[in-house]
A and B are shown apart, each in its own frame.
Chain A
């Protein structure tokens, strides 16, 4: 990756994080969960996925779906960065008729399927990927799952289907921040070893740093060439970018004053300038 491209991705990521934090005022939002997957969205929309505001009706386009729907501020922020809509629209967050609430829906440009109930979107993604194959479309599907979401049984029944039908045009990205709601995943219902489980299910399993754009690009390139369906376990940090809230279970959801928001943004920018 050229230095110039890397800088561009970092610039968009910083702007997206600022947007996420801005949404924590008023009714609040899932700040920690969103900052955890912001870089995944940046990497998809600015590097790997063939989807942009000009090709969103093209049958060969790629689909990006978010299954851990509560992280939608990251999606909103990156869609705005990618030009799907004006970032100023987000000022209407939680206002009547804005369709901007705590989980994604298709009223928002760029969002092709709603989410919210964990364990459901993977099957929807599989339906889309299956149809792309049957229809000889070249597009692929990227779906971001939470690590805690792997508790849902429906995920595992859908994995069986994806492997059975060899849907290697579907790429699962696990936002592995090691926290779910209030506790670490291993404290609640241990899910490790995740790679062994996916490998046993017939997936090509890749592990990478979910905040390193170059490494993400490498992982996506491997997924692209995989004969098996691919899963990328993206090691991430809840609250990434703001040291004061990083890795904190209690900063999953945040509701802040405008003053606190400004402090958080300062902290973000100081961290970034280092």
Chain B
């Protein structure tokens, strides 16, 4: 599981980069409008209060109040970053997000910790696997699911520069060894192009997707990888390009099949069908179908749910 840390402890420092907490501290030093709020989820921001003082607010276990406060701060021209567990941030406080921050389109940055499979053995109450769908429903909300600490910082910078609200799935693991051949966080990152299969993924599953690619290539397939660290606005151009260049498209996500990456791929396909040559590609969605995932440690979740590189390759070949 090299490179994958679900703990949220942002020790994954790159030589030329900083941690999430260091980025927030640095932004707070530059911008006195920055506030950080949390509902007592300090794993990744243990020391921030010493730097930010009164501009760091721990509301206790009160997600709704936290969002209302953030909206009030934003209405005063401040830049609130809200850091809490994805499940409770996006679900307990959904109406507050939608009606106090989303409706007036206030630039509140929501960062959700332990999203998707990263909640590991916590169980279904803690599984945010509908968060992308919920946040994508809110007009003007940008949605990010970075695959590394580098992309997390880039997502944060984009979110902090925007005048609209954003939601970021927190993941501070190492970047894959491979670098994108082209692309960017908002446009999608291409790691390879392939005529047989393009694997489209988002967030930390990129790491397993690389392993799946290697196994698929061993069977003689030409395999592309498109990673989408930003899901809203949907990077439609990149998805369309994938749909136009491969016989098979596989969407890989740790999210329910409705409303997340699988839906985005299908939406882009449906909206652009006339631009995609016949025979049109098969779309295969590897996502969570109708049930929550088995609560286990992350490597075991991936194995049990069929998301290790090996399992992914098998499922893709068998069309499961």
Interface residues of A (CB under 8 A from B): 106, 112-114, 116-117, 119-135, 154, 157-158, 160-161, 164
Residue from A127, A128, A133 having most chain B Cβ neighbours under 10 A: A127
Decide if B55 touches A134 in the complex (CB within 8 Å). yes
Task: Indicate whether B70 reaches chain A with its CB closer than 8 angstroms.
Answer: yes
In the complex, B103 has a CB within 8 A of chain A: yes
Closest CB in chain B relative to A123 CB, distance in Å: 2
- B73 and A130 contacting across the interface, CB-CB below 8 Å: yes
B299 on interface, CB distance cutoff 8 Å: no
Contact A127 B95 (CB under 8 A): no
A124 near B62 with CB under 8 A, answer no
The smallest C-beta distance from A208 to any residue of chain B, in angstroms, reads: 26
How far in angstroms is the closest Cβ of chain B from A135?
8
CB–CB A157/B54 < 8 A:
no
> Which of A119, A131, A164 is B73 in contact with, Cβ under 8 Å?
A131
Q: Which residues of A contact B95 (CB under 8 A)?
A: 117, 120
Category for how many chain B residues contact A:
20 to 34
Q: A112 and B75: CB pair below 8 A?
A: yes
Is the Cβ of B69 less than 8 Å from the Cβ of A120?
A: no
**CB proximity of B315 to chain A, nearest CB, Å:** 43
Q: Least Cβ distance of A156 to chain B in Å? A: 10
Interchain CB contact under 8 A, A154 and B64: yes
**In the bound complex, how far is the Cα of B99 from the Cα of A50, in angstroms?**
28
A-B contact pairs, 19 of them (CB 8 A): A113-B104, A117-B95, A119-B64, A120-B64, A120-B68, A123-B65, A124-B71, A124-B72, A127-B71, A128-B73, A128-B76, A130-B69, A131-B73, A133-B54, A154-B65, A158-B68, A161-B59, A161-B62, A161-B65
- Closest residue on chain A to residue B68 by CB atoms: A123
Pair A113/B62 contact, Cβ less than 8 Å: no
- B130: min CB distance to chain A, Å: 21
Interface residues of B (CB under 8 A from A): 35, 54-55, 57, 59-60, 62, 64-73, 75-76, 78, 95-96, 99-100, 103-104
B96 touches A123 (CB 8 A): yes
List of B residues within 8 angstroms of A161 by Cβ? 59-60, 62, 65, 69
Contact B65 A126 (CB under 8 A): yes
Interface of A is mostly: helix
A126 touches B69 (CB 8 A): yes
**Does A128 contact B72, Cβ atoms closer than 8 Å?**
yes
| With known contacts A157-B62, A160-B60, A161-B60, A127–B54 Cβ distance under 8 A | no
Contact B68 A122 (CB under 8 A): yes
In the complex, the answer to whether B65 meets A131 with C-beta atoms within 8 Å is no
Closest residue of A by beta carbon distance from B101: A124
Partner of A126 from the list B35, B55, B72, B104 (CB cut-off 8 Å) is B72
> Do B64 and A114 touch across chains, with their CB atoms under 8 A apart?
no
Q: State in angstroms the CA–CA spacing of A157 and B67 once bound together.
A: 12
Verify A130–B57 contact, CB threshold 8 A: yes
Q: With contacts A128-B76, A131-B76, A161-B65 known, is A116 near B99, CB below 8 A?
A: yes
A197–chain B nearest beta-carbon distance, Å: 17
Known: A120-B68, A125-B72. 6 other contacts (CB 8 A): A120-B100, A123-B68, A129-B72, A158-B64, A158-B68, A160-B65
In the bound complex, CA of A122 to CA of B103 (Å) = 17
- On whether A106 and B104 interact (CB within 8 A), knowing A126-B69, A131-B72, the answer reads yes
Task: Tell whether A126 pairs with B75 under 8 Å between CB atoms, given A114-B104, A117-B99, A160-B60.
Answer: no
Contacts of B57 in A (CB 8 A): 130
The residues of A that contact B65 with a CB separation of less than 8 Å are 123, 126, 154, 157-158, 160-161
User: Complex formed: what's the CA distance from A161 to B99 in Å?
Assistant: 20
Contacts of A119 in B (CB 8 A): 64
- Complex CA distance for A114 and B105, rounded to whole angstroms: 12
Instruction: Report the nearest B residue to A131, measured CB to CB.
Output: B76
Contact between B78 and A131 (Cβ–Cβ < 8 Å)? Answer: yes
Q: Give Cα A132–Cα B76 distance, bound, in whole angstroms.
A: 9
Closest chain A residue, CB of each to CB of B61: A157
Query: For the complex, what is the distance from the CA of A192 to the CA of B177, rounded to whole Å?
Result: 63
Indicate if the CB atoms of B103 and A123 lie closer than 8 Å.
no
**Known contacts A106-B104, A120-B99: A113-B60 contact under CB 8 Å:** no
Contacts A124-B72, A128-B75 given; indicate if A160 touches B99 (C-beta within 8 A): no
The 8 closest A-B pairs by CB, nearest first: A123-B68, A127-B72, A127-B69, A124-B72, A157-B62, A128-B72, A154-B64, A134-B54
Q: Which residues of B contact A124 (CB under 8 A)?
A: 68-69, 71-72, 75, 100
One of B60, B68, B99, B104 near A127 (C-beta < 8 A): B68
CB <8 Å contact, A114 and B103: yes
B60 touching A123, Cβ below 8 Å: no
Tell me, in angstroms, the Cα distance from A123 to B103 when the chains sit together.
Answer: 16
What residues on A are CB-neighbors of B104 within 8 Å? 106, 113-114
Once bound together, how far apart are the Cα atoms of A126 and B35, in whole Å? 14
The answer to whether B75 and A123 touch across the interface, beta carbons within 8 angstroms, is no
Chain A residues lying within 8 Å of B100, measured Cβ to Cβ, are 120, 123-124
Interchain CA distance A141-B71 in the complex, whole Å: 15
By a CB distance below 8 angstroms, the chain A residues around B60 are 160-161, 164
A123 touches B69 (CB 8 A): yes
Q: How far is the CA of A72 from the CA of B57 in the complex (A)?
A: 32
- Of residues B59, B64, B72, B99, which shows the largest number of chain A Cβ atoms within 10 Å of its Cβ? B72
Report the nearest B residue to A123, measured CB to CB: B68
Expressed in whole angstroms, the minimum distance between the Cβ of B98 and any Cβ of chain A is: 9
